[in-house]
Chains A and B, each alone.
Chain A
Amino acid sequence: MNLDLQFMAETFIDVLHGIPVTFQIVIVTLLVSAPLGFLMTVTKLGDGRIGRRAAAAYVSFVRGTPVVLQILFLYSLLPTLLNYLIKEVCGLSYNIFTVNPILYAYVVFILNTTAVLSEVFRSALLTVNKGQMEAALSIGMNRFQAYVRIIIPQALTAALPNICNTTVNLLKSTSLAFMMTVKDVTAIAKIDASFGYNYLEAYLVIFFIYILLCSLVQGVFHLTERAAAAYKKPASVRNARRVFS
């Protein structure tokens, strides 16, 4: 088996142009999903029964169906549906089929990531014992202040490893965006490969690229975790044991 190294080198350069698109999907998705996911967490932990049920149903639906299927479904449904709405309901002449397909990618990944993050945030909030909330109230802080200053910072620290996982998973699943004709890393590799049927080489190249990108994300999170968890690091035992005399 001979690998076409020349082709691999060219593909590598080509594929680098897809990285901004890949990261764009990841970052936009996270920026939108984080607040939405947090809202959903609040709904889940709240008193409203209907809200709780709806949130639970949403999460189990999104997490219980394959992303590929969601993409196929949304990508056949959304454009047609939007086209119908624009043409028939609003009477406008905008051609929905020319819209940047990355928007559909956003929709799919935001739907998924919101569900995942809502679970991540929920379990993280529950790791902060409620005594600290009571202590905050007892010295005159209100609930909002206690959440912002005491509870959420600790919950976020606890959630960082899971947020890292979520981000890495998201990064990997952006490779499905080619199904919606988004020109991300995977799509570019496939296009390059299709001319000379060098699929194997192209896939090897993007394997490497994805490993690199994922390691990068994990590295960034690792540093963040270390900085955020400074308050958990016990001083030397001797210090901690020295008692007031």
Chain B
Amino acid sequence: MRFELSDDQRLLRDSARDFLAAEFPLEETQRVVEHDPRGFDPAAWARLGEMGYLGLTLPAEVGGQQLGAVELAIVLEEMGRACVPGPYLDVALAAALLAAAGGRERLLAEIASGKAIVTIARQDAAFAGEAPCGIETANGKLRGRKYFVPFAAEAQALLVTTPGGVYRTDAPFAVTPLPTLDPTQRFARVDFDHVAERMAAADVVAGLEPLAAAAAAAMLLGVMSRAFEITLDYVKTRQAFGRPIGSFQALQHRLADALLRVESTRSAVYRAAWCLDNADPDAALAAASAKAYAGDAARLVCGESIQMHGGIGFTWELGLHFFLKRAKTLESHYGSTEVQLERALAAAGL
């Protein structure tokens, strides 16, 4: 039994951390999100493909690395730490859906190499979670509207979920941007009137929910870990009343609680990923729990990090806000907390 990463996994983590730190420093993210309407840099995206991160879990035949959920969690954690702008998580989930549906080697190969961006269009309304699906399908055509489609303007294809199955549609799309408080993640409303190919039954999407939950939780883990580390450094140097603010017990105890949340999220995320890789019967419960817990923990830890920085924490310049914002985005998508709570109850047989 061993919780620690294997040598290969550690290598993957270290190289991802180094690569992402060099490629996506916060200053660069600040620049890209303000000056590039796409919200990410396609050249940097292509380099993610070269590094093999875009085909991490895909089969070798399509240029993938055939790795598992644990490795995906490792890279997602690093993506969260660096608060990388762009659709990394969305594309990983769309690729998993395509792979689960079978076939479609060409599109998968394009995803793995970074040539194609494909995401999933699933949200049926801007607000309500369970609005009736507004998509109609007939005679190979798909019509209707989806909300919060990730990076739809850049996508070559979208996988559209309906109660009757998942459909693939190809660009161009009629896109209306839905700018949110998180500029590192772009969403749009898409009005479909497309030729569409039914590629999988609806239960294929349902079957991927635990992976989506664990994956989003892994990214949340990275987001909160980095915000926590930045804060820990800051409280050791910032002086007030003639001493470092980190010597005040009021802050120490909250930092201890934050550490507990970060480390507990780490246990939950990697256990869930491991359960998924090993078809463990606890996988669904572990994944839903990890996501529900990570959402709360990240909001709390990222919030504390701004609070403990004082005024400078509230500046755009410092960049801490990106972590809080990403935490909120990840919390509300990929199965929001209430959804995960229901899933956890169901998986626990309660």
Same complex for A and B? Answer: no
A residues whose Cβ falls under 8 Å from a Cβ of B: none
